[in-house]
Amino acid sequence: MSVPNDRAAGSVLSIRDLHVTVEADGAPREILKGVDLTVRAGETHAIMGPNGSGKSTLAYSVAGHPKYTVTSGTVTLDGADVLAMTVDERARAGLFLAMQYPVEVPGVSVSNFLRSAATAIRGEAPKLRLWVKEQKEAMARLDMDPDFATRSVNEGFSGGEKKRHEILQLELLRPKIAILDETDSGLDVDALRVVSEGVNRVRATGDTGVLLITHYTRILRYIQPDFVHVFIGGRIVEEGGRELADELETNGYTKYGAELAATRPPSTHSLPAGPIFGGTTTPA
Amino acid sequence: MASSTVPADASPRAIADVIATEREALRETGGITDGSIATNVKPSTPRSPADVRPERITSRDPDAFPAITGREEEWRFTPLNRVRPLLDGADSDARLQWKTELPDGVTLREVAADDALLQTVPTPVDRLSALAMSRAHGAVVVSVPAEAQLDEPVVLHLSGTGEADVVWAHVVLDFGAFSKATVVLEHTGDARYAACVSVLVGDGAQADVVSVQEWERTTLHSSHMGIRVGRDAKARSMDVTLGGDLVRLVKTVEYAGTGGDAELLGLYFADAAQHLEHRLFIDHAVPNCRSRVTYKGALQGDSAHTVWVGDVMIRAAATGTDTYELNRNLLLTPEARADSVPNLEIETGEIVGAGHASATGRFDDEQLFYLQARGIPADEARRMVVRGFFAEVLQQIGVPALEERLLAAVEAELERTSL
């Protein structure tokens, strides 16, 4: 397949039959068992699922974390083979991952980090004066104290500060596709509102496709998804519009009992073969 | 890192418990090894931090020290075959080349061995430092007058000229009472250099001493820096060790009066086959003194070896002592080896605080992933992480031009590998 690399047409992240393993006790263990998903610029997709379903593995595999091995399937961004790229190449191609547990980098200031990232993503160093202003305004929109810029990246940050910092990067780096991995976890209502507003500002540009990974439905009251995918046992088992999120809020994941049972223990034999709700899951 | 505070009425036992708890906590957060030893290969015999060392010998007479076999606590990490040229070196006329920058008021003079000042300096602590002091046949004395407040650093450029003979030297840095000054010792070139550096910090003075080792890779350097901290004085000392084949720096701190404060900082970067050793002994023998130690090292390449030994003694008379020491090592490649040995001996529980932390970790792949996931190429991301690792120490030199230059030197070290 080939999609013209044209911003006007909107970027497309295309995941096809993705299988991913991790090394566990010296042997590879399959976590993703055939994921199909298409995210276009301007769309917001929520991926919901219980703990251990493989949601985060999907996020990190697309971003290129070395811990995960893709055994089959494809990931393309506007037709380009994402899996052939290094982690930094993926970011420069337009992928962004807001992490559930952002990493501390002692001795590297937030401002140095942000400018280095912006320089890498934009292909040239932003003019210092303009950049200072841009960073300051972006921080103000997220209710972040200006002193924040002088602190070491994520070091001693509260949970809320870490997530604001992730969304600050999202706003400054303006990716084609943003994957938000449990950005809502550990946030109080105020922080959740501020963070959600940041995500909504990015969505409003229409240039970014958002893949929102969450365990809870709470954040979907602030960020209204266009599509909801239920993720269990390393694959998407159901999908629909935002009404599916409401249904999950009421009933939880109990109706997926069979798949749930298959999620957890790494059993020695493989689980029921084949997709349960049909193979391709590309929303129209 | 966590700091530990021990109640004033704590018993030595209670303090040991605090330390043990802290170490436990550090270990759980990852990267911490046993407080006695931090290494990725061939761990040496573990010692409990409360272990009492064999009695320390100090003397100006080289023969007062027993012959070195390599089994002694203070020599067990040093490759004796490589330090032999110093140990077996003969008396010589060889000297390093001196270039000095002396701000107004600062004097430099050469004195003979019988000079009265030299009779008062801290005593050598091992055979090599005793040899250095006696064979220097005198000393170079740099004096900052009492109450002088220097805006510019005193800089002593010492460079080796490639002579095969051992250069024996004694340098005295004499900070007058209530003076405030920075002295930078810069070591470059090729040499076999054995030195004593006596740092005398007068009452109420603030003395910063920076010793930079940017030797060529063929150099052997051993030194004993003996720091005596006057009443209410503050001594800050920083070692920056990047070059040399084998560098072994011993530093001792003694307090001449109450209210003294010693801050020892260090930064080292060992490449393949380099042996860089830093040994500290802080002797708290008077009440109400403080000490802080922060040494950080990075290692890369085959047989890169660093040793850090931090001994702190709190004697029975040293009530109100406040001490904390930290050593962190970053292994950039798997074949490097970092030994890290903090020791704390406590003879009184009536102290403000005593603690230590030692951690040796590999390069953090998660940090690398995080930076790369923001588009930053791998080599630049590594530079950022290493720069960040050293920033805490490097930013405290207090001489901006030197900070810049050393940062560049650290980055040049990084370039040297295919990291």
Two tokens, residue B130: 């005793």
| Three-class HEC string of chain B | CCCCCCCCCCCHHHHHHHHHHHHHHHHHCCCECCCCCCCCCCCCCCCCCCCCCCCCCCCCCHHHCCCCCCCCCCCCCCCHHHHHHHHCCCCCCCCCEEEEECCCCCEEEEECCCCHHHHHCCCCCCHHHHHHHHHCCCEEEEEECCCCECCCCEEEEEEEEEEEEEEEEEEEEEECCCCEEEEEEEEEEEEEEEEEEEEEECCCCEEEEEEEEEECCCCEEEEEEEEEECCCCEEEEEEEECCCCEEEEEEEEEECCCCCEEEEEEEEEECCCCEEEEEEEEEECCCCCEEEEEEEEEECCCCCEEEEEEEEEECCCCCCCEEEEEEEEEECCCCCEEEEEEEEEECCCCCCEEEEEEEEEECCHHHHHHHHCCCCCHHHHHHHHHHHHHHHHHCCCCCHHHHHHHHHHHHHHHHCCCC
Chain B residues close to A88, C-beta within 8 Å: 372-378, 381
Two tokens, residue B308: 């850090």
Question: Is the pLDDT confidence value at B12 over 50?
Answer: no
- Do the chains contact at B371 and A113, CB–CB below 8 Å? yes
User: 10-residue block means of pLDDT along chain A (284 residues)?
Assistant: 52 98 93 97 96 94 96 97 98 97 93 96 94 96 94 93 97 97 92 96 96 92 95 95 90 80 48 34 36
Q: Looking at CA atoms only, how far is residue A277 from chain B in angstroms? A: 33
Q: ipTM of this model?
A: 0.89
Backbone φ and ψ for B405, nearest 5 degrees, come out as -65, -40
**B51: which residues sit within 8 A by CB, 6+ positions away?**
B343, B345
Q: Which of B365, B366, B367, B372 would best serve as a mutation to test chain A binding (most A beta carbons within 10 A)?
A: B372
Check residue B331 and give its pLDDT: 92
CA–CA gap between residue B344 and residue B324 (Å, rounded): 10
Q: Which of B328, B330, B371 would best serve as a mutation to test chain A binding (most A beta carbons within 10 A)?
A: B371
- Do the chains contact at A88 and B367, CB–CB below 8 Å? no
Option in A87, A106, A120 nearest B389 (CB)? A106
Question: Is the pLDDT confidence value at B364 over 60?
Answer: yes
- Do the chains contact at B375 and A104, CB–CB below 8 Å? no
Higher pLDDT, B158 or A279: B158
- Minimum mean pLDDT range among A56-60, B140-144, B391-395: B391-395
Type of residue found at B308: W
- Do the chains contact at B370 and A173, CB–CB below 8 Å? no
Question: Is the pLDDT confidence value at B254 over 60?
Answer: yes
CA–CA gap between residue A42 and residue A13 (Å, rounded): 12
Where is A130: in which H helix or E strand?
A: helix A128-141
Chain A residues close to B384, C-beta within 8 Å: 105, 108, 112-113, 116
Question: Is the pLDDT confidence value at B20 over 70?
Answer: no
Interface residue ranges in chain B relative to chain A, Cβ cutoff 8 Å? 364-367, 369-378, 380-381, 384-385, 387-392
